[in-house]
Amino acid sequence: MIDFNTLAKKYKTPLYVYDFDYMSSQFEALKEAFKGRKSILAYAVKANSNLSVVKHFAQMGSGADCVSIGEVRRALMCGIPNYKIIFSGVGKSDEEITEALTSDILYINVESDAELSRIEMIAKELGIVARISIRVNPNIDPKTHPYISTGLHANKFGVDINSAKRMYIRCKNSEHINPIGIHFHIGSQLTELDPIREAAEIVADLVRSLSVLKIELKFFDIGGGLGIRYKDETTIAPYDYAQAILSTLTALDVTIICEPGRFLTANSGYFITKVLYEKANSDKRFVIVDGAMNDLIRPSLYDAYHGVDTLEKDGEKSPADIVGPVCESGDFLAKDYPLAKMQHNDLLVLKSAGAYGFGMGSNYNTRGRSAEVAIESGKDRLIRRRESFEDIIALEKEFLEEEM
């Protein structure tokens, strides 16, 4: 049991708390599910990019799935070996491509023909051979929130199967490109297995047909996306997930790469916020707290549900919107949530906040970002200090002084 009251006193609120032991057990469970095959779990750094979190996974043998050169740098500095790092994303700049190539990471995940040309050109300039994989968009509806669906042609990600085949043939004839993998990621927070299996089948068929053309791919990268329980979702068991993928790989000798983010960190994380006031506008009840959309934007952006724990607060419950101090009507952490009457300084703990919580935060309304705390083997420690006003203005202040 995490003692949220003590943590809130010690570190103040709003506050992110992560249970590192939970992250470890999720990592082990997924690794175990793929044990029949060569596999690499490449943690999707974007889910929670705190250096201590990335280092925690590095120590467990994880690789990293990165979507900016900043994430690649984080992974490297936390001890993730370059040969387990993948760089994905639809819009990589020349500088990012250059740095990824000189860092000698496992491969760059290519998302368009135009990008392939840039990579080829840069590799030629550097006098090296670029290892790549191609992100295939299998046009499968992942049945998740439209903002986190990525595997349909209507989404900006990847290339269709025919273009992918043409691109691999192009790679084969290039002196500066070595195609070693194939990638797909159809969406996030997936709770149904069929779309994943279907996508894997389409991609595995392509790998087999490339093999006929003597293009032998070594890495079968299935992306991330494994969903978790926020409320009452039926989730996919790691074993079933792995079996669904493995069942499509007949006659293929490939290493599986899996890029989990949310599955590893979401339910390890808690966002603790303190009640400031209660108020009612006519019969609409609001509980105003010190955390806001700049700390946890998922409810505002995706209408996402995060369970709220009131730490044994008694009393009759009635629905309330939990809202923050930010000047936006969209600033809410929960809507119509059944809550007992709250007092000034009572704590609310929002659950499942360990993925896409802190990382999607901002300084909107000149609010400093929360501190982050790790709990490991029953001990707590600070892993990011609370941002001060000075931190927020640091990059602007010098220009003001110049003007004055």
Which residues of the shown chain bind ligand LLP in the complex (CB under 6 A)? Answer: 44, 47, 65, 88, 148, 185, 188-189, 223-226, 259-263, 298, 302, 355-356
* 89 or 324: CB nearest ligand LLP: 89
Nearest approach, Cβ of 102 to ligand LLP (angstroms)? 22
Per-residue exposure over 71-93, b if at least 16 CB sit within 10 Å of its own CB, e if not: bbebbbebebeeebbbbbbeebe
Nearest approach, Cβ of 184 to ligand LLP (angstroms)? 9
Q: Is 78 a catalytic residue?
A: no
The active-site residue, picked from 66, 78, 171, 327, is 327
Q: Do you know the residue count of the chain? A: 404
Nearest approach, Cβ of 104 to ligand LLP (angstroms)? 21
* 20 or 241: CB nearest ligand LLP: 241
Going by the DSSP 8-state scheme, the letter that residue 136 receives in this structure is B
Contact 126, 101 (CB under 8 A): yes
Nearest approach, Cβ of 399 to ligand LLP (angstroms)? 32
Task: Calculate ∠ Cα 30-215-100, nearest 5°.
Answer: 60
Going by the DSSP 8-state scheme, the letter that residue 48 receives in this structure is -
Q: Tell me how far apart the alpha carbons of residues 309 and 321 are, in angstroms, rounded to a whole number.
A: 14
Nearest to 133 by CA among 48, 26, 35, 256: 256
Q: Tell me how far apart the alpha carbons of residues 290 and 273 are, in angstroms, rounded to a whole number.
A: 6
Q: Token pair for residue 209?
A: 């047909």
Nearest approach, Cβ of 298 to ligand LLP (angstroms)? 5
Residue type present at position 209: S
* 56 or 185: CB nearest ligand LLP: 185
User: What are the beta bridge partners of residue 257?
Assistant: 40, 221
78 three-state secondary structure? coil
Which residues are designated catalytic? 327
